[in-house]
Amino acid sequence: MTTTTQTTCPYCGVGCGVTATREADDRLLIAGDAQHPANKGRLCSKGTALADTVDLGGRLLYPMIEGVRADWDAALDRVAGGLADTIAEHGPDAVAFYVSGQLLTEDYYIANKLMKGYIGSANIDTNSRLCMSSAVAGHVRAFGEDLVPGCYDDLEIADLVVLVGSNTAWCHPVVYQRVMAAREADPHKKLVVIDPRRTATADSADLHLPLAPGTDVALFNGLLAYLADHGVTTDLPGGADAIAAAGQGGDMASVADAAGVPIADLQTFFEWFAATERTVTVFSQGVNQSSAGTDKVNAIINCHLLTERIGKPGACPFSITGQPNAMGGREVGGLSSTLAAHMGFDRADTVQRFWDSPAIARQPGLKALELFEAIEAGQVKAVWIMATNPLVSLPEADRARAALERCPLVIVSDVMRHTDTAERADVLLPAAAWAEKTGTVTNSERMISRQRPFLPRPGQARADWDIMCDVAQRMGFAEGFVYAGPAAIFREHAALTAFDNDGERILNLAGLATLSDTDYDTLQPTRWPVPLPQPRRAAGAMPAPAGVDQLFVDGTYPTADGRAHLVAVSPRGPANACSGDYPLALNTGRIRDHWHTMTRTAKSQPLATHIPEPFVAIHPADAWRYGIVDGELATVTTAWGQASLRVITSQRQRQGCLFAPMHWNDQFASSACIGSAVNPAVCPISGEPEFKHTPATIAPFAAAWHGVIYAARTLRLRATTGIDWWVKVPGERFVRYEIAGCDPSADLKTATRRWLGVAARDVDWLDAADPAVGTYRAAHVEAGHLEAAVFIAATPARLPDRSWLAGLYSGQAMTEAERVAVLAGRPADASADTGPQVCACFGVGRRTIRRAIENNRLDSVGAVGEVLQAGTNCGSCKPEIAELLAEAEKA
């Protein structure tokens, strides 16, 4: 029987609706949900490949204690007991939760309630701290509450879309597609991209401003000053100060100079912005991930407030988030800097009254980086990490690793058995995965959507909220953690948003607080606020509630004075400036087809193929200066750490800037965790780390040889000597390893057998060697199937094309032609197929002769010999050639 489930995509903050159809034969078809307002049927490459990612390979299926399988009772007792003992001995602030924008709202709510209302600490922070806490802080400073004013429709209505610090084409592809579609429909619409890199997004822009890293405030202050100079005025609080501060930036030439962009382009941007009422400025991690992140956010918002381009269709500043439920986390208050439901610690009594809880956190807890510093300092002695992999994603990741090693109790809830973080867990708890979970998420446009399960929970996996409730009960908090299911949790969350809320908080889900379980199950995407109960139908699904597309339409804001605030901001450079030793600016970010730490995307061969390896992108001039060669390896070193990566030289990079993707980690590479090299500087207001700017230097990785291994099964290269650098690229029915070694005298033939674990001499083994140039190629065949193939050469350019070899793992035995070709790494030229040999002396085949007879109208054996040499040596094939001539004549 075919069943179709409407759910939402687990990747970025666009929050696309997805339909998952299970065919009778268990095949899974994933499609964009045409009814979902976020994507209207569209999906990006990652979403499209979701069916590849739901298998159980690598899943954590049962609890583990100290690396040994345990039952739930033992594991939860250990967690509850460990937390309770730590609290009893060292106080509530000695425990912490580090959670994730990939938890569902219901999970998030339980985590927040347990920590802040029952344990009584605010030491719950989330990986959202790493991506949008500057936007949260900027929103609060300007609007009084963390509010995204607009919705995706505004991007289509707008006549000018400005994308700042956002490679939207790759990181929020469906939003990008919507912008592109709108431009196609109306060519007068303009797109400006402000990004130090000329990204794929910038390619389609009408104007790309490749600003110098960290100069966003200078640029938007310049815009603010320009607008003010051109007569735009405001009486909003902070307006005069903000304009005055912006004026410090000097004239347009000074601004252009500060931002490192051509003055003519800057002027164009200013003119377009000034002239276009319907302007949306989208900003993302390029703005947020900065030691001046919050000021950058406000510099952008200031321009919209000054021009009153907010609260109107097609006009607003627009933060788009990186994770599927970063917004839901912000709503429940799952950041250490807020309490709950958009209430601060000043409302502790209110929240405690609602929760009827034994305790309440009364001041902010530790933000992500502070949290790991506290673990390092021994102040936090027990940490529970859920649905995230901080040892890859945090700045100065190696330090976080060391800190976690020292932490007396590390609890990790995850869906995967092996992650860099899970490997350091004392207790590992198997969480249900995307396809198995039920709950809600909120996307970047305040749209609450249901995530619905379509696969059974495997093994002993449980929902995160369920695990936490069980722990809470074992800690003696039974009264607050008995829920019939996620619907009940959602109702409580919705009720809290409405609790004591007479309009001072715009986040109000009163209208959803009374949903029945059925209503909840059938809930259609709903944009908050939903202050009033929704009209009901007699039966069936609730209609999609009429959400509020634009906030602040009436010009009132949830601030003390009811007005929006401009914030006077001044440009300041990155916390750590580039210097003689570290003259380059390292920027990190996402690539199109990977997600976070690759636990999911690496399961899909199409996704793993787009950019198969961790890389560092560098401008060709810089590459030349540092002796770096495109396609080879280089080590990026900062004062905090290093990573060794494949080099891509590209004019898309600004000179002086490096870019490296954030995804790769110890599960997939030997030394590619770029987080290790990122400086731990944070924005003093938001606590968001400065991922986009770390002073760095780069040097060639001294590889004596490079190689690639294809293997039918996973190899344990980590335990293998002689390989100094490796990357694992998962494929369909095989695993590919890109490798390199530094020992020029390595006996590659022997080493290859060792890597592949082939000890016996009588195995079916092919090899090709050219030792003078350091080339060695070998293949191991078993029962006709390619078991492994290894290619080693002095330079990466001498290694074969990767795509053809991947096709040899078809599940079938190799054909003769494939076996002949396997070490060549490419198929033979089909047109070079000469057919069965006729002239052995000159290697001339039947097909070649036929072609020559036909093409050259040959009429004698001698003529064939003149053209092809066939028959001109020993002459024994002349009768056969004569036969072919006769055949041709007949034909």
774: left (phi over 0), alpha (psi -120 to 50) or beta: left
**Residue 133 structure tokens:** 């806490």
Confirm or reject binding of residue 772 to other proteins (CB under 8 A).
yes
Angle at 807 between CA 803 and CA 812, to 5 degrees: 170
Phi, psi dihedrals of residue 285, rounded to the nearest 5°: -60, -30
Confirm or reject binding of residue 548 to other proteins (CB under 8 A).
no
Residue number, 460 or 837, with CB nearest to other proteins = 837
Peptide bond into 529 cis (omega under 30): yes
Binder among 847, 851, 875, 882 for other proteins (CB under 8 A): 875
Nearest approach, Cβ of 703 to other proteins (angstroms)?
Answer: 18
Which among 116-124, 368-376, 570-578, 766-774 is the span making contact with other proteins, rule CB under 8 A? 766-774
**Residue 237 structure tokens:** 């609080």
Nearest approach, Cβ of 761 to other proteins (angstroms)?
Answer: 10
Q: Are 172 and 328 in contact (CB under 8 A)?
A: no
Exposed/middle/buried for residue 538 (C-beta within 10 Å: 0-12, 13-18, 19+): exposed
Q: Are 180 and 169 in contact (CB under 8 A)?
A: no
Helix orientation angle between 846-856 and 878-890, rounded to the nearest 10 degrees: 50
Binder among 29, 253, 813, 840 for other proteins (CB under 8 A): 840
Confirm or reject binding of residue 72 to other proteins (CB under 8 A).
no
Residue number, 522 or 837, with CB nearest to other proteins = 837
Nearest approach, Cβ of 197 to other proteins (angstroms)?
Answer: 8
Nearest approach, Cβ of 811 to other proteins (angstroms)?
Answer: 21
Q: Are 52 and 606 in contact (CB under 8 A)?
A: yes
Confirm or reject binding of residue 611 to other proteins (CB under 8 A).
yes
Size of the site for other proteins (CB under 8 A): 57
Nearest approach, Cβ of 617 to other proteins (angstroms)?
Answer: 3
Confirm or reject binding of residue 827 to other proteins (CB under 8 A).
yes
Nearest approach, Cβ of 491 to other proteins (angstroms)?
Answer: 46
Binder among 617, 682, 698, 748 for other proteins (CB under 8 A): 617
Binder among 84, 207, 766, 882 for other proteins (CB under 8 A): 766
Residue number, 508 or 649, with CB nearest to other proteins = 649
Closest by Cα among 403, 375, 388, 367 to 689 = 367
β-bridge mates for residue 255, sequence order: none
Binder among 44, 591, 636, 852 for other proteins (CB under 8 A): 591
Residue number, 234 or 649, with CB nearest to other proteins = 649
Confirm or reject binding of residue 832 to other proteins (CB under 8 A).
yes
**Contact letters for other proteins, residues 775-814 (x by CB under 8 A):** x-----x-----------x----x--x-------------
Nearest approach, Cβ of 862 to other proteins (angstroms)?
Answer: 10
Beta strand 427-430 with 64-65 is antiparallel
Going from the C-alpha of 84 to that of each of 65, 80, 424, the distances in angstroms are 17, 6, 21
Which among 487-495, 573-581, 632-640, 866-874 is the span making contact with other proteins, rule CB under 8 A? 866-874
Angle at 308 between CA 261 and CA 206, to 5 degrees: 35
Binder among 504, 521, 743, 767 for other proteins (CB under 8 A): 767
Binder among 721, 826, 854, 859 for other proteins (CB under 8 A): 826
Confirm or reject binding of residue 604 to other proteins (CB under 8 A).
no
Nearest approach, Cβ of 837 to other proteins (angstroms)?
Answer: 6
Which among 495-503, 516-524, 563-571, 772-780 is the span making contact with other proteins, rule CB under 8 A? 772-780
Angle at 418 between CA 415 and CA 423, to 5 degrees: 115
Binder among 31, 51, 84, 200 for other proteins (CB under 8 A): 200
Confirm or reject binding of residue 498 to other proteins (CB under 8 A).
no
Nearest-angstrom CA–CA distance, 542 and 536: 6
Nearest approach, Cβ of 646 to other proteins (angstroms)?
Answer: 8
Nearest-angstrom CA–CA distance, 385 and 382: 10
Which among 120-128, 343-351, 580-588, 824-832 is the span making contact with other proteins, rule CB under 8 A? 824-832
Confirm or reject binding of residue 873 to other proteins (CB under 8 A).
yes
CB-CB neighbours of 363 under 10 Å = 11
Q: Are 628 and 634 in contact (CB under 8 A)?
A: yes
Contacts to other proteins from residues 204-263, by CB under 8 A: none
Nearest approach, Cβ of 717 to other proteins (angstroms)?
Answer: 23
Exposed/middle/buried for residue 811 (C-beta within 10 Å: 0-12, 13-18, 19+): exposed
Binder among 241, 570, 765, 882 for other proteins (CB under 8 A): 765
Nearest approach, Cβ of 657 to other proteins (angstroms)?
Answer: 11
Binder among 90, 610, 733, 847 for other proteins (CB under 8 A): 610
Confirm or reject binding of residue 876 to other proteins (CB under 8 A).
yes
How many helices (H) and strands (E) the chain has is answered by 30, 32
Which residue's entry shows tokens 């197929």? 833
Q: Are 448 and 525 in contact (CB under 8 A)?
A: yes
Question: From the CA atom positions of the chain, what is the Rg in Å?
Answer: 31
Closest by Cα among 5, 107, 11, 30 to 600 = 11
Phi, psi dihedrals of residue 608, rounded to the nearest 5°: -70, -15
Q: Which DSSP string corresponds to 815-828?
A: PHHHHHHTTTTSPP
Contacts to other proteins from residues 384-443, by CB under 8 A: none
Confirm or reject binding of residue 837 to other proteins (CB under 8 A).
yes
Going from the C-alpha of 109 to that of each of 114, 690, 758, the distances in angstroms are 8, 28, 52
Nearest approach, Cβ of 777 to other proteins (angstroms)?
Answer: 9
Binder among 29, 88, 478, 828 for other proteins (CB under 8 A): 828
**Residue 604 structure tokens:** 């899909």
Q: Which residues contact 20 (CB under 8 A, 6 or more apart)?
A: 4, 5, 7, 28, 29, 30, 50, 51, 435, 454
Nearest approach, Cβ of 836 to other proteins (angstroms)?
Answer: 10
**Contact letters for other proteins, residues 30-69 (x by CB under 8 A):** ----------------------------------------
Binder among 207, 841, 882, 888 for other proteins (CB under 8 A): 841
DSSP H stretches of helix in 483-580: 486-498, 517-521
Confirm or reject binding of residue 824 to other proteins (CB under 8 A).
yes
Residue number, 462 or 777, with CB nearest to other proteins = 777
Which among 383-391, 542-550, 581-589, 768-776 is the span making contact with other proteins, rule CB under 8 A? 768-776
Residue number, 436 or 622, with CB nearest to other proteins = 622
Which among 17-25, 26-34, 469-477, 870-878 is the span making contact with other proteins, rule CB under 8 A? 870-878
Confirm or reject binding of residue 652 to other proteins (CB under 8 A).
yes
Q: Which residues contact 183 (CB under 8 A, 6 or more apart)?
A: 189, 191
Which among 339-347, 437-445, 684-692, 830-838 is the span making contact with other proteins, rule CB under 8 A? 830-838
Q: What is the dihedral of CA 248, 252, 258, 264, to 10 degrees?
A: 170
Nearest-angstrom CA–CA distance, 424 and 268: 52
Footprint on this chain of other proteins (rule: CB under 8 A):
197, 200, 591, 610-611, 615, 617-618, 631, 648-650, 652-653, 659, 764-773, 775, 781, 793, 798, 801, 819-821, 823-824, 826-830, 832-834, 837, 840-845, 869, 872-876, 879
